[in-house]
Structure 1
Amino acid sequence: MAQPRNYTQEYIQLKEQIIKHYYKPALQYYAEQVPARPGDRKASYLWPLCALFEAYQVGALVETGAKDVEQTFGIIRKYYDPRAPAAGYASYPPELGGGDRFYDDNQWIGITAMRQYETSRDPKWLKAATGIYRFMMTGLDTVSGGGLYWQEGDTRTKNTCSNGPGILLALQLYKATGNRGYLKTATSLYQWVNHWLRTPLGLYYDHLNVKEQRVDKRVYSYNTGTMLEANVLFYEITRNATYLTAAQKMAADADTYFLKNQELKDNFWFNAVLLRGFLRLWRVDGDARYLEAFRAAIDHAIAHKTPQGLIGKDGRSQNLVPQGGMLELLAQMAVLQKQGVLK
């Protein structure tokens, strides 16, 4: 019988390869691709750092004393852009030319900051998250009945990937502060997403083209992941069983759609967000079957490493986002293994 994988060891090994291949000590930024492609900029965009920030936040639970969260947030701070109407994080560092600001990039940082606050109670994390909430709310209007845009200044689309994490951030802030304004925001966004972007199966479409009132029907695992976790959070706050029932049905449908054939259906980081939803549900109902399904799919992925020790198909340029996503997946598996949930 094969020995079970040591997920802590897998996490540490991948982390070492990410730092070796992507981190640029002289510049003190990460690179976007390995190997670099023609036209790549000097530093990565913000999104890969969102992936690493969350991965390291989870990884700190298995690698005692690691300083990766603080170091990564220090790099993220270099993307800070204080311009009106509210300060937020730009897609590219202002000192290197700056970039557009995306509501979802900011929300992922806010969500992770709140996870840090929940464990440390350090007020700096709450301050960071409330600042991101203020920026996020500048993307809200009443067009199409509400909802958040995806990109600042671009009023073409409202996306599940900007509204789902917006719900999570608002609920986290409500749980931390008791301010019912946050709960009101979360409820409004939740109703908007379900009105426009819920699929007949109970998963979630990508976005609404506001001007054409046309829905982009692509289905990604991270969109379902945020809405799954949102339902469980709503249940934890309200004890309304309707939310839990919806979460359990969504989990079953997501398992069938995204984890069939024991393979991860899309970007590893998208799957990391989906796993967060499954984990939140498991902590409430104790049903670990979806965690085992994820484990099988992760094992399949990490059995195929590149010669550089990264995860993905050999011969392709490897983007940092899915590497950060796999790092989080391994960290989550390591935590579950440490807790005895997975052997």
Structure 2
Amino acid sequence: MMKNLNKWGLSIIMVFLFACCTEKVGGDFVDPSPDGSGNGGGGNPLYDAKTYKEKSKAVFDHIIKHYSVNGTNYFLENYPKQGGDRPVAYFWSHSTLFTGAIWQLALGYNDPSIQKVINGLDEYWDVNRTPFAFQSYPNEFGGGDRFYDDNAIAGLDDVLAYEVTNQPSFLRRAEDALAFDMSGESMDQGGGIFWSEQLRLNNPGNPNTVKAANATALSALLALKLYKITNKPQYLEFAQRIYTWNKNKLQDPADKNYWNDVHAVTGVINKMKWAYNSGAMISNAVLLYEITGNVEHLNEAKSVARASYNHFTHDVPGVGKFFPSHDPYFTMHLLRGYLDLYEVDKNPEYINTLIMNVDYAWKSARNSAGFFLEDWSGKTRGREAWLINQTCMVEIYALISDFKRE
């Protein structure tokens, strides 16, 4: 991820470009089945994996094989490497692979490559500035800016790692990440969390000096999860405060989904909508319902779930209903929200549609190297070389495996 650019602006440009390319592309991953049937059996788990657990592991191993930077604990941002790529991946990309590695542990695997990913994440931890936090590029390559959304995401991953391994170091780092996110709150525009520490401190007039729905929603979610572990009241108070701000400031009253951000100085709202903002707010509402017993939170979770499903899915002729043709990592966060809600309301509708999507992608939306097209329907290719668009599939298949109790 090129964090020195506005990642939302870049995504908008890419979405436009993909929309202009509507010719059927489909997958070109040729099945090497020995009998020529196309039904696998050649020993390649990228074809032969049957369970979602096996599919998660197969994709994870394939990423390790092709994206690893030899002799290091780092990975490439793109495979094949693209012109202009820096030596190793940005933090956001590596952290998504960290999530996949922890899920491999949760599924019962324990390969050396898992520890390689875990160790590599340590290189992005910055103790030269306070509060301590993850930065966008590794220390040995000069470091980088620090982002509140990145740290909330990584903190959530560390909570998962703590729950899977019971290692206190992961819990401590999750609390440190939350402390950084809490430092990003201010009363500019009435509350909420900034997106970028550097812009907040040094360039308030920059167009990207914003209070962001993602940083706010994900920070609230991290605080709620840590509250359930530690019972520290300041975590619950913080989460409730910024959750309420996000809902009041950035929720579109017309359709219940979330606008992307509000400029901290001008108050201008960027009304772009992304799936992960709705997903995180669904999870927040479910957790608040579980913690407080207030049924209004459960009703809100159901409302946003329905709204997000209506907004972010579309019909693909001849195939079925699909989530967006771009940014599957954001759709993964929406899946997390749906799964959290399912534990309460037992409605599998949204989850089943997404399962159909990734089942289709497994068979029909992969390139000749076996990696997924960004568009699961196979209508366009998208940024298939980008690490994030592959690592999110590791978690998605793991989440489905867990959902189906494999």
- TM-score of the alignment, normalized to the shorter chain, above 0.5: yes
Q: CA deviation at 1:123?
A: 1.5
Counterparts in 2 of 1:236 and 1:66: CA distance versus 1, 3 Å: farther
Q: Write the letter of the residue equivalent to 1:26.
A: G
Q: Write the letter of the residue equivalent to 2:366.
A: K
Q: CA deviation at 1:314?
A: 5.3
Match of 2:131, SS state, is coil
Residues 1:164 and 2:225 aligned together: no
Bigger shift: residues 253-262 or 136-145: 253-262
Aligned to 2:266: 212
Aligned to 2:372: 311
Aligned to 1:263: 322
Structure 1 gaps of 5+ residues are: none
Q: CA deviation at 1:107?
A: 1.1
CA distance in 2, matches of 1:264, 1:227: 18
CA distance in 1, matches of 2:343, 2:103: 16
Q: Write the letter of the residue equivalent to 2:342.
A: W
Bigger shift: residues 326-335 or 312-321: 312-321
Alignment of 1:1-343 (within 5 A): 6-66=51-111, 70-155=115-200, 156-199=209-252, 200-261=254-315, 262-265=321-324, 266-302=326-362, 303-312=364-373, 318-337=385-404, 339=405
Q: CA deviation at 1:298?
A: 1.5
CA contact (8 A) 2:73 2:117 kept: no
| Rg comparison, structure with higher value | 2
Higher helix content, 1 or 2: 1
Structure 2 gaps of 5+ residues are: 1-38, 40-47, 201-208, 316-320, 374-379
Q: CA deviation at 1:335?
A: 2.2
Counterparts in 2 of 1:187 and 1:196: CA distance versus 1, 3 Å: same
CA distance in 2, matches of 1:42, 1:247: 42
CA distance in 2, matches of 1:68, 1:281: 33
Bigger shift: residues 113-122 or 147-156: 113-122
Bigger shift: residues 236-245 or 290-299: 290-299
Bigger shift: residues 96-105 or 114-123: 114-123
Q: TM-score, length-normalised on structure 2?
A: 0.79
CA distance in 1, matches of 2:98, 2:54: 19
Q: Write the letter of the residue equivalent to 1:268.
A: P
Counterparts in 2 of 1:141 and 1:78: CA distance versus 1, 3 Å: same
CA distance in 1, matches of 2:89, 2:256: 35
Match of 1:41, SS state, is coil
Q: CA deviation at 1:291?
A: 1.3
Q: CA deviation at 1:317?
A: 5.4
